[in-house]
Amino acid sequence: MMASEPVARAVAEEVARWGGMRQTGVTLRYMMEFGARPTERNLLRSAQFLHKELPIRIARRALDLDSLPFGLSTKPAVLKVRDWYLDSFRDIRYFPEVRNRDDELAFTQMIKMIRVRHNNVVPTMALGVQQLKKDLGGTKAFPPGIDEIHQFLDRFYMSRIGIRMLIGQHVALHEPDPEPGVIGLISTRLSPMLAAQHASEDARAICMREYGSAPDVNIYGDPDFTFPYVKPHLHLMMFELVKNSLRAVQERYMNSDKHAPPVRIIVADGAEDVTIKISDEGGGIPRSGLSRIFTYLYSTAENPPDLDGHNEGVTMAGYGYGIPISRLYARYFGGDLQIISMEGYGTDAYLHLSRLGDSEEPLH
C-alpha cells in the first residue's frame, strides 16, 4: 500500500520531530519494583509511558535506516525493515490517548502486534548487509569507513532489545497468574546454574543433530544461588556461547581418536557481578581474528536464513550475529561479554551480568 505524497511527507515530518526528542531510560530494578504491583492504575501509567516513549525510539531508528553509508539504505531488505518501523510509528502515533482500562487493553494488543511485526528484523538486516557485501566485492574489498555500519548495527540492535523489553514487560504484566517470583519478563530468583543447564541441553541437541555427537558440558557453581534477571536474555547468551564452544570442540576432535574434552561452565557470584565463564578446548581463535568475532560484517556463515525466519537460530553456524548480539544483551543491563583465546588450545568467554540491576539502559 503506497501512501500518497502529502501523507508520506506528513509522516516523514512527524518522524523527524519525534526522532529529535529525548528518550527516557529505565533500569531493571525500576521495572521490577514497578511491575511488582500490576494494578489497573500502574498498567495504565505503563501504557501512557510507552505511548510517548516508543514513538521516540522507533522514529530514531527509522531516521537512522534512511541515512546509512555505502548505499545500505537502498537495499531491498533494509527498505523492508524501514517500512516496518514506519508502520509501527504510525500505529502508535495514531492511537488515541490511553485514558482507561479499555484503552489500555486495546493499546496492549496493538503493541503486541508491533512486536510480532518486528520478529525478523535481525535476519532481514543480515540479508541487507549480505547484499551490500556482494556489491562491494566481499570482505577483502571493504572501503575505509565500513566501521560506521558496524556502529550503526550495534546502536540499532541495542535499541531493538530495549523496545522489545519494554513491550514484552508491559504485555507480560497482564499474565493472569504469573509463576511465583516472576514479574513480567523478569525472574526475581533466577538460578544461573539452571539457566546454564537448560542452554547446554539445547545447544547439545543441535550439535547432536548436526554432527551425530556432542561434547559433554560440565557446570560448576552454587546450585542454590539466584539473582534477578531476564530469563530469555540469559538463555539466549548462554545458548550462543555454549553452541560456539561445542562446535569448536566437535570440529577439532571429529576425525581424531582422542576423546573430545568437555566444555566447562563456571558460575561465580560476586558482590557486583555474576560472572559465567564458558571454557572450551576447541583450538582457539588467532589473535588477528578476535576483533572480528564482534562485528556483523565478517559472518562465518555464507547464507543468512531465508526471510520467513523458519530456521532462525537453529543451525550451528547461524549467520554470525550470535556473539555481537549476545554482547549487546549483556550490556543492556550493565554487564559485558569478553572473549579470551589461546590459539592452539581453546577459548574462554566471560559473561558478566550486573547483579545490582540499577544501571540504566544504554540509549543512542
pLDDT tens digit sequence for 200-213: 999 999 999 999 99
Kindly tell me if the per-residue pLDDT of 316 is higher than 80. Answer: no
Provide mean pLDDT across the span 272-289.
94
| Domains delineated in the chain | 5-180 (1.20.140.20), 186-354 (3.30.565.10)
The answer to whether the beta carbons of residues 18 and 89 sit under 8 Å apart is: yes
- Residue 130: its pLDDT value, please? 86
Give the chain's mean pLDDT: 89
Query: Which of the listed ranges 217-221, 309-313, 317-321 does the model predict with the highest average pLDDT?
Result: 217-221
User: What count of Cα atoms within 13 Å lies in the side-chain half-sphere of residue 12?
Assistant: 9
Q: Which pLDDT does position 337 carry in this prediction?
A: 97
Q: Residue 251 pLDDT > 60, yes or no?
A: yes
Whether 1 has a pLDDT exceeding 70, the answer reads: no
pLDDT at res. 319 = 59
DSSP for 88-132, please give it.
HHHHHHTSPP--SHHHHHHHHHHHHHHHHHTTTHHHHHHHHHHHH
Summarised one tens digit per residue, pLDDT across range 69-104 is 999 999 999 999 999 999 999 999 999 999 999 999
How many alpha carbons fall within 13 Å on the CB side of residue 58?
A: 32
Average pLDDT over residues 261-268: 98
Q: Given this model, what pLDDT does residue 311 score?
A: 45
Q: Where are the alpha helices (DSSP H) in the chain?
A: 5-19, 28-35, 40-66, 76-93, 101-117, 121-136, 147-172, 192-211, 231-253, 287-290, 322-332
Non-local CB neighbours of 297 within 8 Å, separated by 6+ positions: 129, 133, 139, 142, 146, 149, 150
Pair 297, 129: CB distance under 8 Å? yes
Percent of the chain exceeding pLDDT 70 equals 91
Indicate the range of 169-173, 175-179, 237-241, 345-349 predicted with least confidence.
175-179
**pLDDT tier, 4 (very low <50, low <70, confident <90, very high otherwise):** low
Q: Span 101-125, mean pLDDT?
A: 95
Amino acid at the residue 174: H
pLDDT of residue 312: 44
Amino acid at site 90: R
Q: For the segment 121-150, what is each residue's pLDDT rounded down to a tens digit?
A: 998 998 998 888 888 877 666 778 888 898
